[in-house]
Amino acid sequence: MVNRIGFDIDGVICRDRLAKLSHINWLFKLIYFLTAIPQIRWLYNAHLRRLNYDVKRVIDLNFSAGYEIFIVSGNYIRTQSELEKWLFRHKINYHNIRLYPGFSSGLTIAAWKAQVINKHKIDLFFDDTPSIVDFLRKNTSASIVQYQEYKK
């Protein structure tokens, strides 16, 4: 029985326009690290992060049905305030949010997500990054779904 469902933010709950740049590895990493600067983070949240209404519907239906909703994201913990404001503004229902503490934790994002999924006994988890999905499938007992947005 599924009781706890987890969702990644960028690429799942929201349409991440930066994901289109991920094939340009150095540029993607540069922009990702620059989003730690508050002014750039604000621009990112205001202009690049767009709500995925299909996933919001899935979250709303499961939240209403009594499932515990977890948000587990590779966004740095220092961005929690801005992320919570974005989630509130878009009326995303959730019970628990966990954000990446950073590389100082000694864990990659994939290993950290696996640790969170195992610790909180999340039964079903949605992520969009193929390498993270593969890692989670091997290192957790949760059912892991690789989310890909439907292109009309």
**pLDDT at site 81:** 87
61 lies in a domain?
yes
Any residues with CB less than 8 A from the CB of 20 and at least 6 apart, and which? none
95 lies in a domain?
yes
31 lies in a domain?
no
**Domain membership of residue 11 as a residue range:** 4-15+50-146
**pLDDT at site 2:** 76
For 7-36, write each residue's pLDDT tens digit.
Answer: 999 889 987 655 555 555 555 566 666 666
Residue 132 in tokens: 């993270």
Total structural domains in the chain?
A: 1
CATH for 56: 3.40.50.1000
**pLDDT at site 76:** 86
**pLDDT at site 27:** 58
Output the furthest CA–CA distance in the chain (Å, rounded): 43
**pLDDT at site 8:** 96
22 lies in a domain?
no
23 lies in a domain?
no
> What stretches in the chain show pLDDT beneath 50?
none
Buried-exposed string 60-87: b where 16+ CB fall within 10 A, e elsewhere: eebbeeebbbbbbbbbbeebeebbeebb
79 lies in a domain?
yes
29 lies in a domain?
no
28 lies in a domain?
no
pTM above 0.85, yes or no: no
